[in-house]
Amino acid sequence: MRLLLALLLLSPLAAAQPVLVAEPAAEPPSAPFVGPTVEYAYDDGAASVIIGPPSSFDPDMLWGNAFATESGGDEVVEVAVAFGSTFPSVAGGVTFWLLDDPDGDFDPRTGATALDSVTATPDVFGNTFYRVAFPPTRVSSHFFVGASARLLGGQDRPARVDTDARADRSWFFYAPDIAAVIDSLGTAPFGTRMDSAAVVPFPGAFMVRATGRPAGTSSSAEDPSRGAPTLALAGPHPARSAVALRVTLPAAGDARLDVLDALGRRVARLADGAMGAGAHVVRWDASRVAAGVYVARLTAGGVSRALRIIVASP
């Protein structure tokens, strides 16, 4: 437990940040949807503690909340996170994750798999939420939303904790590459629930929220049945070891997804056969290929799509 204690570096905000940066007065842009929504949140909008890694290592850190899906909110369209003002100091942005966790235990280490992710660079800090629009994504009875980033140990403290709020549904992880363990968070080298008295000096809820709406209310512009097959990145990029690709098919049919190296040689075949209509996240384990540029090629519905992928050194 002494080791685990050393892995956590938590500071009262007042002590860590004697001078807070000014918060911008302008509201961040709102997400492009209208209609009734469900707001998932545990915090009350004011954090008293910020969390980051200790100076002994520079990890990927993931922090977020587990929620039970509410009626009328089973299609997640937005994730919102409030950041500590000591962030960011490493280029690469923040990855915002949505995981489905149907086993109902509010524990993302068991049974949770990533549905989608969006990478962006926050431009607001403090108790102002940075909002990220998600492709409308259906969740089951329970889900987990979080943010991950590559952090400088001892310097970055991006995760804001509301110590007035319940702590038993907030989770905190370190890993060398979060994307590589996102579908099996139980294997992350370090993970804790935020009410664990042994390792969490300041229990509370992370300021990580989600917005849901009734499933099936997608506008025609978002309807995957319109248009041609598409291929897009669905995870952090450049990738280090795990690459997530989002394939969207307007109609069910045969689809083939290959990865080619810079010389056009096939290095992986990720799909070859029947695939249903709609969006699918397909993962490529790039841990055994050399760093460099690759091309993902999707062939479906009589058309071909290519997407450039950069695999970074681990």
Dihedral sign (CA 178, 184, 207, 50)? negative
- Of the listed pieces 42-50, 87-95, 102-110, 147-155, which binds Ca ion according to CB under 5 A? 102-110
Q: CA 183 from chain center: how many Å?
A: 11
111 binds Ca ion (CB under 5 A): yes
Residue 129: how many CA atoms within 13 Å on its side-chain side?
21
Nearest CB to Ca ion, comparing residues 110 and 184:
110
Query: In DSSP terms, which residues pair with 247 in a beta bridge?
Result: 231, 280
Give the total of residues touching Ca ion (CB under 5 A): 6
Q: Is residue 102 close enough to count as binding Ca ion by CB under 5 A? A: no
Closer to Ca ion by CB, 105 or 223: give it.
105
HEC string of 11-58 equals EEHHHHCCCCCCCCCCCCCCCCCCCCCEEECCCCCCCCEEEECCCCCC
Footprint (CB under 5 A) of Ca ion, residues 173-232: none
The residue nearest Ca ion at its CB is 110
What's the Rg (C-alpha) of the chain?
A: 20
Phi first, then psi, for residue 9 (nearest 5°) are: -125, 105
Is residue 107 part of the contact set for Ca ion (CB under 5 A)? yes
Q: Find the shortest distance in angstroms from Cβ 68 to Ca ion.
A: 12
Q: Minimum Å distance from CB 140 to Ca ion?
A: 11
- Closer residue to Ca ion, CB minimum distance, 208 or 257: 208
If you write DSSP's letter for every residue of 195-222 in order, what string do you get? Answer: T-TTT-SS--EESEEEEEE-TT---GGG
Contact 130, 174 (CB under 8 A): no
Among 70, 103, 222, 272, binds Ca ion (CB under 5 A): 103
Q: Which residue has the tokens 């110590």?
A: 163
| Shortest spacing between CB 66 and Ca ion, in angstroms | 7
Among 110, 121, 184, 225, binds Ca ion (CB under 5 A): 110
Taking CB under 5 A as the binding criterion, the range among 27-35, 39-47, 94-102, 277-285 that sits at the site for Ca ion is: 94-102
Least separation in angstroms between CB 175 and Ca ion:
18
Buried b / exposed e across 74-101, counting CB within 10 Å, b at 16+? bbbbbbbbbbbbbbbeeeebbbbbbbbb
Shortest separation between residue 282's beta carbon and Ca ion, angstroms:
23
Binding of Ca ion by 105 (CB under 5 A): yes
Report the residue number, 13 or 181, with the smaller CB distance to Ca ion.
181
Both tokens assigned to 121: 């660079």
103 or 164, CB closer to Ca ion? 103
Footprint on residues 284-313 left by Ca ion (CB under 5 A) = none
Give me the phi and psi of 179, to 5 degrees please.
Answer: -60, -30
Q: Which residues in this chain contact Ca ion in the complex, by CB under 5 A?
A: 101, 103, 105, 107, 110-111
